[in-house]
Amino acid sequence: MIADFIITFRETLEAALIVGIVLSYLKKTQLTKYNNMVYMGIATGVIASIIGAILFNLLAGGFTGIAEQMFEGVVMLFGAFLLTTAIIWMMKQRHLSENIERKIATSLNTAQKSGLFFIVFVSVLREGIETVIFLRASSFVSGGNSLLLASLGLIGAVLLGYLLFVTTVKIRLKLFFKITSILLILFAAGLVAHGVHELQEAQILPIYIEHVWDINPAVNADGSFPLFHEKGLIGEFMKGLFGYNGNPSLIEVLSYLAYIILVTFLWQNINLTYVKARR
């Protein structure tokens, strides 16, 4: 369930960075009188995210049988799609601070300053809703979420965001986002494969070959699972983080590999575009 920590840490840090950039800009331009609009944007974004989480979880608990398998499969695939768009968006943000400051300046030059509120509100709400969907999709893969790890991820990101913009602490954010992007790509690939599995269980997708391989060790005599069994301690960890499956179907394997190849291609394309733009 370490994925829960990574998800909440990264998503919260993205929101914290945007909020930090806004507050830093207001301080730099001596417009701190508008700080309250930023705080209102944070508060309403958090409240809206909590309401969205409650409604989404109520919806998620209303399915059984095949409908439940279909819902879980769709949520996993949609979660992978959202996660991919979030990763690609961050890859493209070579000048995040400048872009946000340009939006702030535009909103402050208008008669109504509500644009500043909406910049923060939308940023917090987007990250909040994405986190809700990612955590729910993660719970379908690993069988549950770790509230402790998710909370630690949130708290850690808020503290890091504070340190970055209030103190002189310097973090190599580019390296951080590159490492977490790789981990989240593997996590999203696992969501795709497990989403396919659920749709196969619901008989929406064909199976063809049910088990391309089966490397799950035999269950122990006492009924417990060996460490490397997909239901064992290490297996569960790898399942939650990388989508590990000891006995995947053919389409699960193909979908996992296809996703990795596609996102790697997109990443390389973004890097090449950036290099060409600098020439």
Q: What is the pLDDT of residues 93-139, one digit of tens each?
A: 766 777 788 888 888 776 666 788 999 999 999 999 999 999 989 88
Number of Cβ atoms within 10 Å of the Cβ of 234: 13
Tokens at 90, concatenated:
């961050």
**164 band by pLDDT with thresholds 50, 70 and 90:** confident
The total of other beta-carbon atoms located within 10 Å of residue 147's CB is 11
In the predicted model, is pLDDT for residue 274 greater than 80? no
As to burial, measured by CB atoms within 10 angstroms (0-12 exposed, 13-18 middle, 19+ buried), residue 169 is exposed
Mean pLDDT, residues 53-60 taken together:
87
**Distance spanning both ends of the chain, measured CA to CA:** 43
Instruction: Choose among 158, 185, 162: nearest CA to 257.
Output: 185
Q: Are 77 and 192 a contacting pair, CB within 8 Å? A: yes
The answer on pLDDT for 251 being more than 90 is yes
Q: What is the mean pLDDT of residues 5-12?
A: 91
Q: Please compute the mean of the pLDDT values over residues 248-274 and round it to a whole number.
A: 93
Residue 47 CB neighbours (<10 A): 13
pLDDT at 107: 80
Return the structure tokens found at 149. Answer: 């790890």
Determine the pLDDT at residue 252. Answer: 97
pLDDT (mean) for 42-70: 90
User: Which residue is associated with the tokens 């390296």?
Assistant: 175
Helical axes 2-28 vs 35-60, angle rounded to 10°: 160
Amino acid occupying residue 120 = V
What whole-number distance in Å separates Cα of residue 178 and Cα of residue 176? Answer: 5
Instruction: Identify the burial level of 81 via C-beta atoms within 10 angstroms of its C-beta, where 0-12 means exposed, 13-18 middle and 19 or more buried.
Output: middle
Over residues 78-95, the mean pLDDT reads 86
* Span 178-191, average pLDDT: 91
Which ranges constitute the DSSP H helices of the chain? 2-28, 35-60, 65-92, 96-108, 114-142, 147-166, 173-201, 233-242, 250-278
Q: Cβ distance 194 to 76 under 8 Å?
A: yes
* Confidence (pTM): 0.84
State yes or no: pLDDT of 173 exceeds 90: no
Domain ranges for the chain? 2-181
Alpha-carbon distance of 10 to 16, in angstroms, equals 10
Structure confidence at residue 36 (pLDDT)? 92
Distance separating alpha carbons of residues 274 and 247, to the nearest angstrom: 40
More confident: 110 or 218: 218
Instruction: Indicate whether 28 pLDDT > 60.
Output: yes
Average pLDDT value over all residues in the chain: 88
Confidence category of residue 90, pLDDT binned at 50, 70, 90? confident
Using the predicted structure, report yes or no on whether residue 202 has a pLDDT greater than 90. Answer: yes
Query: What pLDDT, on the 0 to 100 scale, is given for residue 120?
Result: 93
